[in-house]
Every structure is written in structure tokens, then in C-alpha cells.
Amino acid sequence: MTDIVVVGSINADLVTRVERHPQPGETVVGEDLVVMSGGKGANQAVAAALLGAAVRIVGCVGDDSFAAPACAGLVSAGVDTSRVTTVPGPTGVALIAVDESAENTIVMVPGANTQVTADMLGSAAELRRLTESIILLQGEIPVGVTNTVARNAGGRVILNLAPVVPVAPATIRVANPLVVNEHEALGALAVLGVNLAGAVSDPEVIAGKLIGAGLRSVVITLGPHGALVADGALVTNRPAMVRVPAPMVTPVDTTGAGDAFVGALAYRLAEGDTLEEAVRYAVRVGAFAVTDRGAQPSYPTASSELPEANSAGVAR
Ligand code: RIB
């Protein structure tokens, strides 16, 4: 039984440490270079699998030397890679620099991720069967595939619109939840055709607009400040919103922490948690993931001791 099907990107991450990020036109010296398994789809699949979920990934790698390191994390986490297709050309690669304050810059070269097709999931009937529990989507494969999978999915769709890409509004509306950071939340509103009058930075206002645009539920991640959960189904005339605080940790590398959050969220929803319960767990997994280097190598297993959040969320 597969708990979670991820249809998403698989990359090799080339990671270096820099004292500070370069300005345009400037060269800075990196400390060392490590090749790690990455890609938002693969990262989320690995995060969920390491915590205990049965996960399958559908995606593409190229026929080059980066394919093996790109898939290594999936294989060692026990993710079912039988639907990973090797296509001619380069594997997706991300060039990542992490500075002394743990912030990163990422240049993603999608390569084989552009070759993912809905056919790789099989027939429409097979797609329904494959996705009868939870299907996890991001923004690093062709939008047409994301739209087709969301339209045909038999189970619960979690859409992490990262990066923001112009998926069909119906794809965003089918998501339960849409998971975005504050910046991506504004992008999702734009994709939905919702115009904001003036600059809006209050996450509750943005979440309210998203629910008002017909979304079932929304999770806005707030970095060290945790996450905001907005569930359109809980009350009739306005969404119920809860702020979930994050544990305080000393960050080493924030790369892939959002993916750890999404993978953990999917795992706990597959286990039967409510959305708020799943988010309370996911913020702890996300906090754990910033305390070590890289994306997948920093993720906890089921036996890891997760940091505790300090205070209860505030109901709004
Ligand atoms: O979210 C982090 C991921 O984004 C990296 O692993 C990189 O591959 C890019 O896709």
C-alpha cells in the first residue's frame, strides 16, 4: 500500500558554503563543494519516507553522471523509484550557495524534470489507483502534468506551489491544503486572478483572500515564526485560522527545510491527523532540518528527537 505519491522533481544539488553571497558581477570563493540528492519532489518524498510513510515518486532523471547522486537519497530512504524514468539529456541540477547566516541562493537547471509527462503515471484508471491516498505536487515539473494529475487524482492533493508557476486555478482549488510561504502565497493569489488593492503583508489577510477565492485549506509557512493554518471548512462565514509556533533552533542551513515540512505534513495527514495536528508536527520537522547541512541529509527519521515548540498557537 502506498500512502503518498509524489509527482515531482529530482535534482543533484551542488552545494558550497560562502562567507557572503556575491553581488551581481562579483566573484566570491566557496569553501568546499558537495554533491547531494535534492529537488523539491525528491526532498519531500524522502522526508515522508524517513518518518515512516510508504512513498512512491514519479519523475525523471537524465542519462548523465548526476542521475545516481540525484536518486541516492530516494533509494536509501526506501522510496519506491519504479516510476522514475531515465530520459536522454542532463539530470536536473541545483547550484546552491549557503552563507554564514544559513541563508541560501539556488539556481535550478531543470534538465530532465521538464520531460515528466502524465503518461508516466499510467492510464487514468491507474492514476486514480496510484493516488488513492495522498498525492504531493510542487512547481518544478511541467504545469500541464501537475494540472492533469490534480484533475484525475483519486485521493487528497497537497500542492506546494514552490516555485510559483501558472497552474490552472482548478489545480489550486483542489488542493487540501495549498502549502506556500508568504511570498508564494501572493503568487498563488495572482495565479488565481485575485488583485490585491495595495501592498498586503499580513498572512491572515492573505490566507483569508485565498480561502475567499475558493480554496479548501491553506498553510502559509512563516520560517522561524512557524506556520499559519487556514481551513475553509471549519466555519461557515469565515475561515478558521490558527498560528502554529516553531521551535527555536540555531540554523546551519535552511536548504530544503520547507520540503521537510511538506513531507512531514503529508506523512501525518496520511496517518489521519487533522490539518492543524499535522502542521504542529511539521514545524518541528522543519526546525530539525535547518540544524544540519543540505536538504535530505538534514532530515529526521522516526526515531530522531524533534525540537519542541515553546508555546501554544493562537486561535484567531
Ligand atoms: O527546496 C530545496 C530544493 O530546491 C533543492 O534541493 C534544489 O534541488 C531545488 O529544487
- CA of 93, closest atom in ligand 1: 8
User: In testing the pocket of ligand 1, which one of 13, 104, 141, 164 has its CB within 8 Å of the most ligand atoms?
Assistant: 13
Q: Which residues pair with 93 in a beta bridge?
A: 12, 109
Q: What is the pTM of this model?
A: 0.94
The average pLDDT across 38-59 equals 97
73 alpha carbon – ligand 1 mean position (Å): 13
212 alpha carbon – ligand 1 mean position (Å): 31
232 alpha carbon – ligand 1 mean position (Å): 30
pLDDT at 301: 97
Question: Nearest residue CA, atom 2 of ligand 1?
Answer: 256
pLDDT in tens, 202-216: 999 999 999 999 999
pLDDT at 316: 37
All domains in the chain, ordered by first residue: 4-298 (3.40.1190.20)
pLDDT in tens, 240-258: 899 999 999 999 999 999 9
pLDDT in tens, 3-27: 999 999 999 999 999 999 999 999 9
Element (H, E) at 158: strand 156-160
Q: Which residues are catalytic?
A: 259
124 has a pLDDT exceeding 80: no
Percent of the chain residues topping a pLDDT of 90 = 84
Over the range 20-54, which residues count as b (16 or more CB within 10 Å of their CB) and which as e? eeeeeeeeeeeeeeebbbbbbbbbbbbbbbbbebb
pLDDT at 245: 96
- CA of 36, closest atom in ligand 1: 6
Task: Write out the three cell numbers for 293.
Answer: 547541512
pLDDT in tens, 163-216: 999 999 999 999 999 999 999 999 999 999 998 777 778 999 999 999 999 999
Q: What are the two backbone dihedrals, phi and then psi, of residue 44, each rounded to the nearest 5 degrees?
A: -70, -40
**Residue ranges around ligand 1 (CB below 6 Å):** 9, 11, 13, 38-40, 43, 94, 106, 108, 140, 255-256, 258-259, 295
Measured distance CA(162)–CA(179) in Å, rounded: 9
